[in-house]
A = this chain, B = another copy of it.
Amino acid sequence: MTTETSHPSVAAVRSTEEQYVEVIGLLEEQNSPVGTAPIAENMQLAMPSVSEMLKRLADKGLVTHAPYEGASLSEKGRMLFANVIRRHRLWEVFLTQHLGMSWHNVYEHACRLEHGTLEPVTARLGSFLGNPEYCPHGSPIPGADGTWPPSQGQPLLEMPIGSEYQIVRILQENDADCLTFLFERDVMIGTVVRLMDIASYDGTVSLDVSGKPVAMGTRVASRLRVTPIVEMRGNASGEST
């Protein structure tokens, strides 16, 4: 903190590095440290490319990385991560709320915009949007100071069968195919679903989405985060469209 940069987005941080930090940070939310393979798969790169870059990120102090043991974001890396995610998710909010784009395909566009967004624009974009705390997929948006709003929702698969829940978050928002799958079945943030069954054989999950049956595998279902809905007789709640 001597003559160092105060805003990670401004200084000598290459756009490629930001992308790596973003992916590593997101993967680390699932399990840490992150191996080379998941990063390579996520970024559609060959493993040696990732291996090499991890070394360079470690040199820059953005990650800690002992060979054969995966990578974790350093303190500096986590600060950059929060900043990148903030930019990313603010753009997602802009793209959906103001440009009318659909939540299931804004990830890629936000990804492209985030790396060209310097701090003055980030700050003003935040104000313009009303400093939202959650992105269109329900994930938290770090504040300008790097603090995270609480994560919302509990895993749908851990909830008792038979009750109704409102979807408040869909994880792994960078998996476009998964989001499209859900989008086409009207499963999105705010949707009220009733958990009908989790098949003991292969784990297939059956939902009722405002009267329509929807089935999905555990891989998809495990990404849904919900809050319980208080059951009211005679009114199945009114947030379907």
Contacts and interface: CB of A to CB of B under 8 A. Distances in A.
Nearest to A101: B124
A113 interface: yes
A150 interface: no
Nearest to A95: B121
Contacts of A115: 116
A118 B124 CA distance: 22
A53 B68 CA distance: 40
Contact of A112 (B95, B98, B117): B117
A211 interface: no
Given A98-B128, A128-B99, A116 B120 contact: no
Q: How many copies does the complex hold?
A: 2
Interface residues of A, number: 19
A98 B128 CA distance: 7
A234 interface: no
B99 A124 contact: yes
A117 B113 contact: yes
A197 to B, nearest CB: 38
A128 B100 CA distance: 9
A234 to B, nearest CB: 41
A182 interface: no
Interface of A: 95, 98-101, 109, 112-118, 120-121, 124-125, 127-128
Given A99-B121, A113-B113, 19 more contacts: A95-B121, A95-B124, A98-B128, A99-B124, A99-B125, A99-B127, A100-B124, A101-B121, A101-B124, A109-B118, A109-B120, A109-B121, A112-B116, A112-B117, A112-B118, A113-B116, A113-B121, A114-B116, A116-B116
